[in-house]
Amino acid sequence: MTTLTAPYRRAISSETEDVRPLRRRLGPGKPIRFGSLIGIAVLLLAWIVGSATGLLDERNLSAPWTVIATGETLIENGRLQESLVTSGIRAALGLGLGVVVGLVLALVSGLSRIGETLIDGPVQVKRSIPTLALIPLLLLWFGIGEPFKILTIALAVFVPIYIHTHNGLRTIEGRYAELAETLGVTRGEFIRHVVLPGAMPGFLLGLRFAVTSSLLALVVVEVINATSGIGHMITLASNYGQTDVIVVGLVVYALLGVTADAVVRLIERKALSWRRTLAS
């Protein structure tokens, strides 16, 4: 009987009384769906309207359709893919090297006091020197070949990895170490089961910063002096006043950045699944 009357009751519930005191809202309220995408759409729309009405000079910023057409041409003659692969490999190698170095240094520094005294100071000093300021020196040491580019990217990457992993390690609660002591685990087991998973949130946060840093360093080393890659394509286009090619290059950089960030988020979701249900 109750199951039959329940929908009926719900139907008239809109007419039943609902009197309650309500405070004026001070916070921003409910989030808007796809909020971040709306801003992007508005900006694109402004670009389209500006180009169509002639408000935007073609020499300053090519029209969206010109950019798309140029993109298609660049894909057809293979220049875009070629540049993308070169840049992607560079960024990946630099990122990989930087992540490994940053992780190892953070572990050594976080797990031993001697390691900390030897490593932490120099890394903090390195942190205060922008990696890009080291480029002149690196150029003298390594020339303008690939090793120079990869090393520059790695140098920009290892610092955020180190800082955040080290911080993650140091904020693992002492009570877990105490527990591990009472369970009689070995040092290796302690690192595998307590230290690494405990530092994982910090490491992944560092990785997100590191990805951004690697792309920044990539752009700089490619624009300064390169004979291949997206940055090289952009530099050439700049010399010839081809804003459409420049915009295509920028779009590719943006896509690289967004993709890399999405990959890191995916890793985060997989690796931190023990926290997911907590957050939701």
Partner 1 sequence: MASHAGQLNTHPSDRRDAAVKVTDLHRSFNEAGGVLNGLDLEIAPGEFVALLGRSGSGKSTLLRSLAGLDRGVAGTGRIEVPEKVSVVFQDSRLLPWKRILDNVVLGLRAGDAEERGRQALAEVGLAGREKAWPHELSGGEQQRAALARSLVRDPELLLADEPFGALDALTRIRMHTLLRKLCEVHEPAVLLVTHDVDEAIVLADRVIVLDGGVVRHDARVEIDGRRSQADPVFARLRSQLLNELGVEDDHDSAPRHVARAAS
Given a contact cutoff of 8 angstroms between Cβ atoms, the answer to whether 268 and 204 are in contact is yes
Q: How many CB atoms lie within 10 A of CB 7?
A: 8
Q: Considering the rule CB under 8 A, would residue 280 count as an interface residue with partner 1?
A: no
42, 52, 183, 251: residue in contact with partner 1 (rule CB under 8 A): 183
Residue 25: is it exposed, middle or buried by C-beta count within 10 angstroms (0-12/13-18/19+)? exposed
Q: Considering the rule CB under 8 A, would residue 191 count as an interface residue with partner 1?
A: no
Q: Give me the 227-266 binding string for partner 1, x by CB under 8 A, dash otherwise.
A: ----------------------------------------
> Which residues in 142-181 contact partner 1 (CB under 8 A)?
175-176, 178-181
Interhelix angle 79-111/146-170, nearest 10 degrees: 40
Q: What angle do CA 211, 120, 176 make, to 5 degrees?
A: 85
Query: Would you say 57 or 181 has its CB closer to partner 1?
Result: 181
Options 43-51, 76-84, 95-103, 272-280: segment touching partner 1 (CB under 8 A)? 272-280
Query: Which has the closest alpha carbon to 155: 97, 204, 89, 220?
Result: 97
Options 37-45, 132-140, 191-199, 260-268: segment touching partner 1 (CB under 8 A)? 191-199
Q: Position 220: which residue type?
A: V
Summarize as ranges the residues that interact with partner 1 (CB under 8 A). 175-176, 178-185, 189, 193-194, 197-198, 200, 274-275, 277-278
